[in-house]
Chains A and B, each alone.
Chain A
Amino acid sequence: MKIDPNVRYSESHEWARQADDLIIIGISDYAQSTLSDIVYIELPEVGDEIAKGEQFGVVESVKAAADVYAPMSGEVVAINEALEDQPELVNEDAFGEGWLLKIQPSDPGEWESLLDAEAYKKVVEAEEAH
């Protein structure tokens, strides 16, 4: 399982990456491996506002459907349209090709409240211990 050191995480297993003044959002490699084969991803529309901690989409696998929550607040400026036909990109490359959306953050300071790789690793280890 990979934990990308260059992104920050939420406890609900989403990641956020700074790209200039935008934030790219996805789900972690741990999240995709727990869900197994992903078959469908429901995303918001460009222009929608998402709020930190609130559900913005659904990732559906062959065995479950999981809600995904916004690690930061902002306006959606792009969604990963490739996922419509290739949702498996999230399984194959959760931190890269499998990104979900890009937002223009409304409160860039929220970045500081997210977990770094070290702290996220502990969250995953604690969950796996259960």
Chain B
Amino acid sequence: MVYLPHTDEERRQMLEAIGVESLEALFADIPPAYRYPELGLPEPLSEAEILQELTELSQANLNASLVPTFLGAGAYRHWSPSVIDYLISRGEFATAYTPYQPEVSQGTLQAIFEYQSMICDLTGMEVANASHYDGATATAEAVIQAINVFRLKRKKIVLSPTLHPQYREVVRTYTQGMGLDIVGDDDPQRSLEALIALVDADTACVIVQSPNFLGEIEPLAGLADRIHAQDPRTLLAVVTNPLSLGLFTPPGDYGADIVLGEGQPLGLGLNFGGPYLGFYATREKYLRQLAGRLVGETVDVDGKRGFTLTLSTREQHIRREKATSNICTNQGLMALAATIYLAALGKQGLRKIAELNYHKAHYAAQQINVLEGYEVLTTKPFFNEFMVACPASVEEINDFLLDDYDIEIIGGYDLGRNFPGWENRMLIAVTEMNSREEIDDFIEALEEFAAIHQAGGGDHHD
């Protein structure tokens, strides 16, 4: 196969075939200002020069694997066993693209099948798809599934205010133009009670997150029943952290109709924000409204076990504009990484990692809560993340931790970025990667900041 783009001769032939004189004439409908914009690119560099430049650029970053970090808010620093990178780097897995041809894709198909089975196990659900881009897009797909279950007749979607702010934003982006009424998340203080009260006969689904964006475990027991008391058919979708399911009861056991979330905690690196992994599972009765690829187990002509894509009539290459989703591929390589992670850890291992997260986070919360000037605001049970009221703005504290303290520390998430008036509230994530020493350093640093701040503040910017 030739990997070169079209030759001038081929371009000429194609233009001739469609009866257009030149490439410029073909693009005549595009306004001139956008046709060939000035890109302002620098002159080309040699391989050695570009490597030098990129290395220098990368050194300007603070590497989360080299300094203590307490930043989470949806993406977490976890241990990624080296077997993951070793296996996903194998040539056989080099393309993550849809394995349409089962006769040459058994390895990839089986890996996806195993992934789907593990996600079902983990979430307590009946069917899982081959994955979405990330937790945010998976959340948007839940909305689309729900309105398809009601054949577009129900237009109301109730979102919990403690659903990840970016997920809420992506839900709105994905569904713009669909005429939906998305409610519930406008008041960050709205209780679960008040949220349930919004459910009516026009509500397609309720989406809650647990552990929620603020780290708290929501009381999922009985939630489905309470929603169904408002309307018996409204769907309940639960966004969750898959690692927390090593310790907590899966949402499927509480009657959720859809369980989904961000798969990044399953051994995927922070990766500068992606690629990540959206996992998604639902009840078998919603199979037809489920988006994305599905791999099924079957037998070949000789009766031997094999794997193949199944139920693809739901998808866009067959259903066109009637398809239940525009997702046409999956995060194959990331799903593979998560599968290897879960297989390497096993049930016991996953529980152990989840316990480490839980205990380390609770140790940190306990220590921070007794510090002068700080107060842990999380009152519900939590997993590995909690909210703290600080003596100054989080921005100021994080600057201190990075630039002015003895060692560099990446502090927690600044909740003021999403919630007006919460500029002094920090969301702190503690994972199995944070050693006791790191946590103690962090606590000392917070204490020192408070002392300096109380003594007059400001002078730590020397």
The reply on A60 being an interface residue by CB < 8 A is: yes
Q: Which residues of B contact A64 (CB under 8 A)?
A: 313, 318
Nearest CB on A from B285, distance (A): 11
Within 8 A of A (CB), among B195-220: none
Q: Which residues of A contact B288 (CB under 8 A)?
A: 40, 42
Query: A58–B318 contact, CB under 8 A?
Result: no
Chain B interface bracket (under 10, 10 to 19, 20 to 34, 35 or more): under 10
Within 8 A of B (CB), among A23-70: 39-40, 42, 44, 58, 60-62, 64-65, 67
The reply on B319 being an interface residue by CB < 8 A is: yes
Report the number of A-B residue pairs with Cβ-Cβ less than 8 Å: 17
Q: How far is the CA of A67 from the CA of B151 in the complex (A)?
A: 14
The reply on B322 being an interface residue by CB < 8 A is: yes
Nearest CB on B from A4, distance (A): 27
Q: How far is the CA of A60 from the CA of B151 in the complex (A)?
A: 17
Q: Which residues of B contact A44 (CB under 8 A)?
A: 151
Within 8 A of B (CB), among A92-125: none
Determine the residue in chain B with the shortest Cβ distance to A39. B313
Query: A67–B322 contact, CB under 8 A?
Result: yes
Nearest CB on A from B301, distance (A): 16
Determine the residue in chain B with the shortest Cβ distance to A44. B151
Nearest CB on A from B316, distance (A): 11
Within 8 A of A (CB), among B309-327: 313-314, 318-319, 322
Q: Which residues of B contact A67 (CB under 8 A)?
A: 322
Q: How far is the CA of A83 from the CA of B288 in the complex (A)?
A: 15
Nearest CB on B from A73, distance (A): 18
Nearest CB on A from B62, distance (A): 51
Nearest CB on A from B310, distance (A): 11
Query: A60–B322 contact, CB under 8 A?
Result: no
Determine the residue in chain B with the shortest Cβ distance to A64. B318
Q: How far is the CA of A40 from the CA of B313 in the complex (A)?
A: 10
Q: Which residues of B contact A42 (CB under 8 A)?
A: 288
Q: Which residues of B contact A60 (CB under 8 A)?
A: 313
Determine the residue in chain B with the shortest Cβ distance to A58. B322
Nearest CB on B from A49, distance (A): 12
Q: Which residues of A contact B314 (CB under 8 A)?
A: 65
Contact string against A for B residues 139-183, beta-carbon threshold 8 Å, 1 for contact and 0 otherwise: 000000000000100000000000000000000000000000000
Nearest CB on B from A34, distance (A): 15
Within 8 A of A (CB), among B321-370: 322
Q: How far is the CA of A40 from the CA of B319 in the complex (A)?
A: 13
Determine the residue in chain A with the shortest Cβ distance to B288. A40
Q: How far is the CA of A40 from the CA of B290 in the complex (A)?
A: 14
Within 8 A of A (CB), among B352-405: none
The interface of chain B, by Cβ under 8 A from chain A, is 151, 288, 313-314, 318-319, 322
- Can you report 8 residue pairs joining A to B where beta carbons are below 8 Å apart? A40-B288, A40-B313, A42-B288, A58-B322, A60-B313, A61-B313, A64-B318, A67-B322
The 8 closest A-B pairs by CB, nearest first: A65-B313, A60-B313, A65-B319, A65-B318, A64-B318, A40-B288, A67-B322, A58-B322
